Amino acid sequence: MIPQPSVSVVFEPAARPSADLAGATAVVIDAIRATTTIVAALAAGCRECLVFCTDAEVRAEARRRPAGSVATAGERLGLRIDGLDFNNSPSVMTPGNVGGRTLLLTTTNGTQAVHDGMKAGAALIAAMPNRRAVARRVAALGRRVVFLPAGTVGTVSCEDTLVAGAVIEALLEGPGVKGFHLEDSARVALAAWGGAKDRLGEVFRQTWGGACIVNLGLDADLAVCVQVDTTDVVPVVRGDPPVIVAE
């Protein structure tokens, strides 16, 4: 029997639908770039973020909303979807672009991971910029924690694993965390983070996802993705379809 509350990481995207999330805190991660984009948007004053699996759903929701009340964003394989306002780019989530508006977002990997996390008792959005804030919220909730990396086109993602490890490190450094037990998967993520944190920009550029957006000329996005502890925003997922708000 694993002592509770435990901390685990579901590395394989194919394993997410069968993960036991009942009563757990799910922490969804798509470091390059969806969860970083969501964090950046809410930190810039976005009212809320709705995530969709298809761009057709984004367009339909935009038509239902008052003119000027939403910003649409999305990508497939790193490229902005034609007709949407923005790419899935944290670097463009500024007060001028999204402040006071609802962001409607669809991405290749991350938005599906958000939907998979909705079976949990609570679902949070994590990235490097808010990793310590997420750790504080996880500790306050006191529940079993399951990290849900989005992965990259169905494969394990190095950068998502590193974010999980970074949050776990911050969790262990906080007060009142002696009750949390690290499963082996959490220890793997923590060890990976320990080996990469002093050269994070280099490591992110070498990952499949990082190399892809660098090749697309999106270095500004990668620069945001590797910022650590720059915001206290904790995006919380509620409702069905999922609505993400800052708390």
Separation of alpha carbons 126 and 138, rounded Å: 11
Which pLDDT belongs to residue 2? 76
Which pLDDT belongs to residue 178? 67
Which pLDDT belongs to residue 176? 60
Which pLDDT belongs to residue 177? 61
Q: Are 147 and 189 in contact (CB under 8 A)?
A: yes
Tell the CATH superfamily of the 6-246 domain. Answer: ComB-like (3.90.1560.10)
Write out residues in the chain with pLDDT < 70, as ranges.
1, 176-178
Residue with tokens 């992110």: 204
Q: Are 97 and 72 in contact (CB under 8 A)?
A: no
pTM over 0.95: yes
Q: Is residue 141 packed enough to be buried (19+ CB in 10 Å), middle (13-18) or exposed (0-12)?
A: middle
Which of these, 140, 201, 129, lies nearest to 167 by C-alpha position?
A: 129
The string over 100-114, giving b where at least 16 C-beta atoms fall within 10 Å of a residue's C-beta and e elsewhere, is ebbbbbbbbbbbbbb
Question: Across the strands, what pairs with 28?
Answer: 125, 148
